[in-house]
Amino acid sequence: MPKPGKTGRTARRRLAVAAGVLLMTLVVPPASAREDGPIADPLPDPTLSEIGLVLDEFSTLPRSAPLPPPTDDRLKRWARINFVGEVPDGTGRLYVPDLNGKMYLLNSAGTPTEYLDVGAAVGPDFWSHQGLGSGFGFVAFHPEFAENGKFYTVHTEARDALKKRPDLPSGGVTVVHSVVTEWTASDPGATTFAGSRREVMRLGFQGTLHTIQEINFNPNSRPGDQDYGLLYIAAGDGGAGWRSSVPQDLYVPQGKILRIDPAGHNGPGGKYGIPPSNPFVHRQYVLGEIYAYGFRDPHRFSWDAGGTGQLFVGSIGEHRIESVYDVRAGDNLGWSDREGPFEYRKEGNPTCGVYPLPEDDASYGYTYPVAAFDHVPPPSTPCADSGNALIGGFVYRGTKIPELRGKYVYGEGVGGRIFYSEVAEMRRGGPLAEVHQFKVLDTTGATTSMAELAGDDRVDLRFGMDLDGELFVLAKADGTIWKVTDAR
């Protein structure tokens, strides 16, 4: 719900959007005021929409837990389910990765079947009990999975695995590795995995936070396209960006989106290929794997199946700004010199806020968000982490809910608020798109909330989508998946 007393700022945002004025010029003090301190409340609150999403409970995954038992209560969930997607083989089966180690397949009734235990396959070096994104993070099926049986996973390793050398520089001493693995199923139609696996990429990170969050293929690409069969890898900054220049360093992969050819061989050790179309492939002392850079935690990304097929990245901010970017090859999102459309300062106490942009900002060439919201700690603890996190979602291009068409649906992960922005307003270089908060309805049409549905104030919200473009909402709190069936 919008915070009390913020209707004035909501009205100002509407005025800015209607007038086509850059939002920053409305809410950010001029550069001359930079020495007055950080901006107290950088962005207007989301506006409460009249649209309510109807959520129909679809499946509950088996209970799971990290091993050894975690000391961080945030990892003590019913099941740390991270995504739901559809296997691209025409069977209609859905897949769900659980950070605690297992991948499940769901039939049309939502009944889960264990397909693969990644944690067991990795062995004692599998790491899932420390770090919010640690464990078996994501799975991406090759577009030709039905024929070649190939899919890719990313998981976290530590302990003896740290004796292995990462494929690319780490920018410092590493405490965990993120490993991308290629699996080849002997029978792509089987209900449980049998086949082979090989390591594709190993990256080291200086902390247990912000490792590799998602890997995926562009679903809009077709055989013969430049992008076809190339794997995108969202690598966070390892928690190092707030005090270093790692996200801006083009010789390390942390804080970057990488793009590789898993069928190629000109990468380190011949394990993968570096596409010749990557933006930095011919530059000396720059990693050719880099597609875009300047990220803190590019937690989720997806392509619009309509429009111009933009790549939207939901990026989790430090302590103030949560952002959605329209990312193109070679973009620099600015972290850790920028947090969203504001200046971030490492000196002093950098967790205390953001600042207006300097007068010479245009000379840096940073790419700024197309949508964003802030989170403001209480006055009693102005430098505290408010615990908010933007969870990227999808542009709805399905056919069953016309009211959602052309809306980018995303959310705030901890409290479980669900937002949307109109894609038509999400323009690079333009004013920030307005952020609307959906109401949440149960199948009877009664107003509820994700916290009520999940039975926990900490929802740990995630999103998913099937091949028809229909949406799902997930909660780690109770391991449940809901299907979005209507918008009223």
Give DSSP secondary structure letters for 286-329.
S-TTEEEE--S-EEEEEE-SSTT--EEEEE--SSSEEEEEEE-T
Count Cβ atoms below 10 Å from residue 483 Cβ, excluding itself.
18
How far is it, in rounded angstroms, from Cα 297 to Cα 83? 17
pLDDT at 124: 98
CA dihedral in degrees (380, 383, 386, 389; nearest 10)?
Answer: 160
pLDDT at 349: 65
Residue 282 counted as domain residue: yes
Residue 479 counted as domain residue: yes
What is the SS3 assignment for 35? helix
Residue 158 counted as domain residue: yes
pLDDT at 34: 44
Question: Cα–Cα distances in Å, from 151 out to 60, 175, 469?
Answer: 24, 27, 21
pLDDT at 17: 35
Range of the domain at 42: 7-487
pLDDT at 156: 98
Amino acid occupying residue 25: T
pTM for the full model?
0.92
- With a CB cutoff of 8 Å and minimum separation 6, the contacts of 224 are none
User: In sequence order, what are the beta bridge partners of 114?
Assistant: 104
Q: Please list the pLDDT of the chain residue by residue as tens digits (488 residues).
A: 333 333 343 343 443 333 333 333 333 333 333 456 888 889 999 999 999 999 999 999 999 999 999 999 999 999 999 999 999 999 999 999 999 999 999 999 999 999 999 999 999 999 999 999 999 999 999 999 999 999 999 999 999 999 999 999 998 899 999 999 999 999 999 999 999 999 999 999 999 999 999 999 999 999 999 999 999 999 999 999 998 999 999 999 999 999 999 999 999 999 999 999 999 999 999 999 999 999 999 999 999 999 999 999 999 999 799 999 999 999 999 999 999 999 999 876 666 789 999 999 999 999 999 999 998 777 777 777 777 899 999 999 999 999 999 999 999 999 999 999 999 999 999 999 999 999 999 999 999 999 999 999 999 999 999 999 999 999 999 999 999 999 99
Count Cβ atoms below 10 Å from residue 416 Cβ, excluding itself.
24
How far is it, in rounded angstroms, from Cα 293 to Cα 250? 8
* Counted domains in the chain: 1
On whether the CB atoms of residues 9 and 28 are closer than 8 A, the answer is no
Residue 370 counted as domain residue: yes
Residue 68 counted as domain residue: yes
Rounded to an integer, what is the distance from CA 284 to the centroid of its chain?
Answer: 30
Q: Is residue 360 exposed (0-12), middle (13-18) or buried (19+ Cβ within 10 Å)? A: exposed
User: In sequence order, what are the beta bridge partners of 141?
Assistant: 151
Q: Could you tell me how many residues make up the chain?
A: 488
Residue 210 counted as domain residue: yes
Residue 159 counted as domain residue: yes
On whether the CB atoms of residues 324 and 371 are closer than 8 A, the answer is yes
On whether the CB atoms of residues 96 and 104 are closer than 8 A, the answer is yes
pLDDT at 348: 67
pLDDT at 36: 62
On whether the CB atoms of residues 325 and 291 are closer than 8 A, the answer is no
Residue 1 counted as domain residue: no
On whether the CB atoms of residues 434 and 421 are closer than 8 A, the answer is yes
pLDDT at 353: 85
Residue 215 sits in a domain whose CATH number is 2.120.10.30
Closest among 192, 59, 65, 41 to 479, alpha carbons compared: 59
How far is it, in rounded angstroms, from Cα 11 to Cα 14? 5
